[in-house]
Structures are given as structure tokens and as C-alpha cells.
């Protein structure tokens, strides 16, 4: 029940699904379970286990009469994946094989998979649509693409499968209650958690990685998506799979991009905090700009983002203030 899983669990419970979480807590905290219950006002199940433990996973699926799986059990730090590739191949790729084997053993064939816009690599054109060529540039991105390919092969070989691969853009923000949000271990790499730590005094300033990109203000531009919109996307995909077979890929993004400085200014406005920053060298591997073409998810799943950049910053700030007191 990491960042995206916890928000998705809330939306599933509120829309009437029963939820059971299987997690090895390597990047999450057991307290989150109580917080999900508190927000949703409903109970949910939990099994502590590793995704690579096929036997334990199979037993958990069977004992809890699971009918569909949302697979979010991935390691997700791009930089770390280049330093520890085998850990990433083991947890992400091997872990996904283990999950499929467990699902096959108990005849479950509905799966929503957490993929990433990272699979696209350098933009050949923008916005990225789902048919854009895929050239991931790091082990994490390779894992996501391998798993997608495996799922397509699986659905081709066995027509009972119903699979949605959701390519997330940049998930940010938190639940409006301030009870759950992103809580990265150690020093954060991603922009919003760094801004949060500057706002609450844990870090002195934000280092902006380059202001010489060919964007409006020279800083990198990204398609930031509110984690609650993302959670709704999982719900819509799961609902849609009840009526549809095969393996399908969808971008989940807002369809527009904002620069580092635009995000910073918006955060400063909603928090009434000054976020000191310095401009430093570009971060190796960073792209200038990317954003999603979102027509497919809108047309087929009936999903699009509803929350604004201001909603993103307000909910993040609320979570940061709240988690400081915990």
C-alpha cells in the first residue's frame, strides 16, 4: 500500500469493491492501512508478503476469493534502477511473472498493471500517444516495457485475460484529508517531495536541474497528474475490464505540461511559503518536456483528469503539514 495503491484502495472501497492488499512494505508503512480504513469508513484485508513468493501469493488470492488484481508492486526509482539493475529485474519483472503464475493457478484473469510514460523515452513527437515508439533508457523503464510485452503475449495466448496497462505520467498530490500521501524513504528524487521537504524545513532549498531547456521559462516541463485522478483511472479501467477481453494500453495524464517554476510558484501561492531555490546543472537523462495524449482513456474508459495544478499543490501542502505532526 504505497503511494498510488493507498489512494486507489480508498476509491475502490468507496465505490463498493472489497479490497485486500498484498505488500512486503519495502516502501510503505503498515499505518497506512488504518488511514485507508479511516478515510473510506470501511474495512480491508492485508497480507504481508513478497510478490516473488508465488506460493504465499497464490494462497492469499485463493483464501480471500480475489476476482481481479491491481498490480502496483514495483520498485520505481529511475536512478536506483541503474545502480541496482538486478534488484529491479528481480522485483519488477520476475515479480510480475510470479504474480501471473499465481493468478493462473487460481484462475483469475483480470489485471490492471501499473506502467509508466517512461516506456516512451525521447519524444519522436508530442504529445505521446499510445502508439508512440517505445525506447526506455533505464532498467526501470525496460522492466515496465518487458512486463507490458509479456502481458500482451499472455492475452494473445489465452483469450480469457482482461488486462489494462496504465502508463502514468507524473503522479503528484495527496488525498484531500491529508491522511495519506507520498512518503519516500530517504532523500527524495522527485520534484514534489523535494518541494515539500523545503516547505517543512527538512531541506534548505530546491535545486532546479537546468534552466536552459527550450521551454517557456527554460525549466523542464512535465504532465503532472493528481494521484486521486490516477486512482479514479484504476477504478474506471477495472470497471471497463468487466465487459472487455484482451490486453489494452492507456495513457493516464492530464494532457498538458507545467514547468518546474510554474509548479513552484503554484505551491508558494497555496502554502504562503517561500521556496528558496538555486539553478544547478541539468540532471543526466532528463527530458526537456513531455505530456500525454489522453483521448484514448477518455473515449474508451470515460476517464479524464478533474483536478487542477492548484488542487495538486493544495493537497500536497495539506499532507506535508499533517505528516510533520505524525
Which residues contact ligand WQD by CB under 6 A? 76, 78, 116, 118, 168, 170, 189-191, 194, 206-209, 220, 222, 260, 283, 286
Distance CA 155, CA 259 (A): 38
Distance CA 258, CA 269 (A): 15
Between 45 and 218, name the residue whose CB sits nearer to ligand WQD.
218
Residues 6+ apart with CB under 8 A from 84: none
Between 110 and 118, name the residue whose CB sits nearer to ligand WQD.
118
Between 33 and 166, name the residue whose CB sits nearer to ligand WQD.
166
Distance CA 126, CA 290 (A): 7
Between 67 and 217, name the residue whose CB sits nearer to ligand WQD.
217
State the catalytic residues.
Answer: 140
In the complex, the smallest distance separating the C-beta of residue 158 from ligand WQD, rounded to whole angstroms, is 28
Torsion of CA 167, 3, 174, 306, to 10 degrees: 20
Distance CA 293, CA 249 (A): 13
In the complex, the smallest distance separating the C-beta of residue 197 from ligand WQD, rounded to whole angstroms, is 10
The residue whose Cβ lies closest to ligand WQD is: 220
In the complex, the smallest distance separating the C-beta of residue 13 from ligand WQD, rounded to whole angstroms, is 25
Distance CA 146, CA 208 (A): 32
In the complex, the smallest distance separating the C-beta of residue 244 from ligand WQD, rounded to whole angstroms, is 25
- The answer to whether the Cα torsion of 55, 3, 228, 246 is positive or negative is negative
Distance CA 154, CA 133 (A): 21
Distance CA 82, CA 189 (A): 14
Between 76 and 304, name the residue whose CB sits nearer to ligand WQD.
76
**What is the DSSP track for 105-160?**
HTT--EEEEEEEGGGG-S-SSSSB-TTS-----SHHHHHHHHHHHHHHHHHHH-TT
In the complex, the smallest distance separating the C-beta of residue 289 from ligand WQD, rounded to whole angstroms, is 8
In the complex, the smallest distance separating the C-beta of residue 204 from ligand WQD, rounded to whole angstroms, is 12
Between 147 and 260, name the residue whose CB sits nearer to ligand WQD.
260
**What is the DSSP track for 220-264?**
-EE-EEEHHHHHHHHHHHHHHHTT--EEEEEEES-S--EEHHHHH
Amino acid at each position: 500500500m504505497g503511494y498510488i495503491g493507498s489512494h486507489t484502495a480508498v476509491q475502490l472501497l468507496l465505490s463498493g469493491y472489497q479490497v485486500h492488499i498484498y505488500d512486503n512494505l519495502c516502501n510503505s508503512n503498515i499505518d497506512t492501512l488504518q488511514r485507508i480504513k479511516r478515510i473510506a469508513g470501511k474495512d480491508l484485508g492485508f497480507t504481508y508478503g513478497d510478490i516473488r513468493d508465488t506460493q504465499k501469493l497464490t494462497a492469499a488470492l485463493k483464501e480471500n476469493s480475489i476476482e481481479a488484481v491491481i498490480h502496483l508492486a514495483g520498485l520505481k526509482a529511475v536512478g536506483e534502477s541503474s545502480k541496482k539493475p538486478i534488484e529491479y529485474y528481480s522485483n519488477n519483472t520476475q515479480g510480475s511473472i510470479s504474480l501471473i503464475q499465481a493468478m493462473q493457478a487460481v484462475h483469475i484473469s483480470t489485471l490492471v498493471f501499473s506502467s509508466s510514460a517512461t516506456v516512451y523515452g525521447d519524444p519522436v513527437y508530442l504529445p505521446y500517444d499510445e502508439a508512440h515508439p517505445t525506447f526506455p533508457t533505464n532498467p526501470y523503464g525496460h522492466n515496465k516495457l518487458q512486463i507490458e510485452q509479456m502481458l500482451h503475449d499472455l492475452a494473445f495466448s489465452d483469450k480469457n485475460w482482461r488486462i489494462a496497462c496504465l502508463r502514468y505520467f507524473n503522479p503528484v498530490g495527496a488525498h484531500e484529508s491529508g491522511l495519506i500521501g507520498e512518503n519516500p524513504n530517504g532523500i527524495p528524487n522527485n520534484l514534489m517531495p523535494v518541494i515539500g521537504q523545503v516547505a517543512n524545513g527538512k531541506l534548505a532549498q530546491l535545486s532546479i536541474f537546468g534552466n536552459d531547456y527550450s521551454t517557456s521559462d527554460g525549466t523542464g516541463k512535465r504532465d503532472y497528474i493528481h494521484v486521486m485522478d490516477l486512482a479514479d483511472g484504476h477504478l474506471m479501467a477495472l470497471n471497463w475490464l468487466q465487459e472487455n477481453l484482451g490486453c489494452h494500453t492507456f495513457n493516464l495524464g492530464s494532457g498538458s505540461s507545467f514547468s518546474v517554476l510554474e509548479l513552484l510558484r503554484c505551491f508558494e501561492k497555496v502554502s504562503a511559503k517561500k521556496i528558496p531555490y538555486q539553478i544547478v546543472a541539468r540532471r543526466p537523462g532528463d527530458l526537456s518536456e513531455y505530456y500525454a495524449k489522453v483521448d484514448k482513456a477518455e473515449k474508451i474508459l470515460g476517464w479524464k483528469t478533474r483536478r487542477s495544478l492548484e488542487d495538486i499543490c493544495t493537497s500536497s501542502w495539506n499532507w506535508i503539514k499533517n505528516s510533520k505532526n505524525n
